[in-house]
Amino acid sequence: MRRGFWFVAGAGAGVYVMIRARRAAEAFTPDGVRDRLAGLQVGAHLFLDEVRTGMDERETELRERFALLERHSVLDGPLELTASTTDESPLHPYDLPGTHPGTPALEGKH
């Protein structure tokens, strides 16, 4: 009984090791590497599609929540950016009248 058990256990372990070795050897052949890379590429595309879908859903949810307009579509063409024709630099909040600390307009509001 004992010998039969160990014979079957050894034969099963041998078959298992042979199958694993054959799979490992096949994985490192050019076809096996190509198949693994193709699978990795498909997985990456699926993952990126899921991420993009989630981003779009979240953006739509946030736009509805904050009542923002739909985003600019690529099909509408590029947005026109116009530069100021004056030589003035943008105003700092302290440059507006009555907003700099120590000015009479703010002293009474503390």
Per-residue pLDDT reduced to its tens digit, 27-85:
889 988 999 999 999 999 999 999 999 999 999 999 888 887 655 555 556 656 566 56
In the structure, what pLDDT confidence band is assigned to residue 26 with cuts at 50, 70 and 90?
confident
Q: Looking at the domain assignment, is residue 92 inside a domain?
A: no
Structural domain of residue 45, as residue ranges?
Answer: 1-76
How distant, in Å, are the alpha carbons of 91, 93, 100 from that of 103?
17, 13, 6
Taking a C-beta distance cutoff of 8 angstroms, is the pair 84, 92 a contact?
no
Q: Looking at the domain assignment, is residue 103 inside a domain?
A: no
Q: Looking at the domain assignment, is residue 101 inside a domain?
A: no
Q: Given this model, what pLDDT does residue 97 score?
A: 60
Q: Given this model, what pLDDT does residue 28 score?
A: 87
Task: Count the domains in the chain.
Answer: 1
Q: Given this model, what pLDDT does residue 83 score?
A: 60
Helices (H) and strands (E) in the chain, counts: 3, 0
Q: Please name the residue that has the structure tokens 């993952």.
A: 47
Q: Looking at the domain assignment, is residue 30 inside a domain?
A: yes
